[in-house]
Structure 1
Amino acid sequence: MNATTIQWAALGLCSAGAAVRIPGLREGRGRTMFVALVLLTIAVGLSIEPIYLAVDAALGGVNIANLLLRLALYAVFLLFGIRMAAAFGSTRARRLIVGPFGLSIVALTVAATLYFFVASELAGSSTGLHAFGEQDTVQQYAAVGRLYPGYVAACLVIPAALSAFDRHARIVHRFACALVACGNALVVVFVLLRLTTVDLMYWDILLPFSAILLTVLGLCLIWVSHTVGRKSAGSANKLA
């Protein structure tokens, strides 16, 4: 699977993941995850060149679309972190993500992102800001943008892995948790590799988008598992 294909595949899966949750919204279920998946769909869409160039042109052609992508991803990881920590029963992960320390990190990340964006010369749309890669402020902007997702992912890897080994859970649920654990692990690996001088080449796209595919697929399977569980409980109650 090449870089472009995996980007479009991730966009399709994110869109489908958000769409299947629409019926539950009328019952007041899954609102947080729905918003997170919609924002992730937007972020993934803005990473694809034709979509990015069209959106950024409408916003003035100064790469505001890239800033929106970054801010959307921060919100996605914050919302995913809150819901996943609760789903995996990890109070420590939740405290690290939405406790005073975690909220301070996201606030500093947003502030630093805005600062480096404003401090950069970004006239002319460029997907991923590749045309401006030699600017130090753009390099710092990109580095800051990876750190917060890496932090949240690191908080979730162990709770997700432990849930995958829960013998009392359904097989599909355990498999889904394993996918989520692998997805978050890939995010951490990607962030750590980008801190080195290693040239990732096409893996610069394949690693993060593989993480998205694994995580969203895992979340969809968890949703399926919970839906089946609710229907089974409802049938049992009717028989009783």
Structure 2
Amino acid sequence: MTSASKPSTAETERAPGNYRILLLEDDEQLAELIVRFLSERHCAVTYAANGRDFMKAVHHKDYDLIIADVVLPDASGFKLLEQFRSQLSCPLIFLSALSSVDDQVTGLQLGANDYLVKPVDPHLLWAKIEAHLRTTNSKTPSTASIKFGPLSVDLVSRQALVRDQPLPLTTNEFDLLQIFAEQPARLLSREYLFRRVIGREFDGLDRVIDMRVSRLRKKLDAIADGVAIQSIRGRGYSLNTVHGAP
């Protein structure tokens, strides 16, 4: 397969109603077939050939569904799911040559929505994708906003309110607040936030997260009896209710 036809170049603009799918597969020939099949069904496919590419992909955008191999050249699909499941809001289907019952049970227990054994008929794969996305889409209204104490974060309009008072946030600030709101009262390390926001590993020197948290914190602090981002020296940040807010 020439570089011009590699699966990684097959991502297309998403039209209304189409699916954004992340494919993690180290077999380039199989990946090309899957990408072509899904693209013919008007899906926007992002391709990752290894664990490193997968980590970059999940940090840079959101997906409707993920298809992942288990055995990879630099990682285990099981380990990746274990590491990132709390950050993923979309269904995940394992597609693997590992066919034992133990492997399938492990994948499902780790949080996968399905486990298909290679080789799989592409039409069965497509039927599974549609079935899982129908289930996910039926739940969309209940997950379109996040509430924590007096804070309300609307993921559709990308607006945040504290006691019905709008928070004037930039795009970067809203993205950061969403990460905190998804895991309220939980300590989030600087390394974790850096991976989620910037999309690469923290080098120990870059202070961009500290600056963004500082700006967001000031805007939250300006609203009395609301929520605040609290810091634990050397460990990270946490979003909490303050001043007895309900």
Q: Same fold (TM over 0.5)?
A: no
Structure with more relative contact order (C-alpha pairs < 8 Å, separation 6 or more): 1
The alignment's TM-score, normalised by the length of structure 1, stands at 0.25
The alignment's TM-score, normalised by the length of structure 2, stands at 0.24
More strand by share: 2
From the CA coordinates, give the structure whose radius of gyration is larger: 2
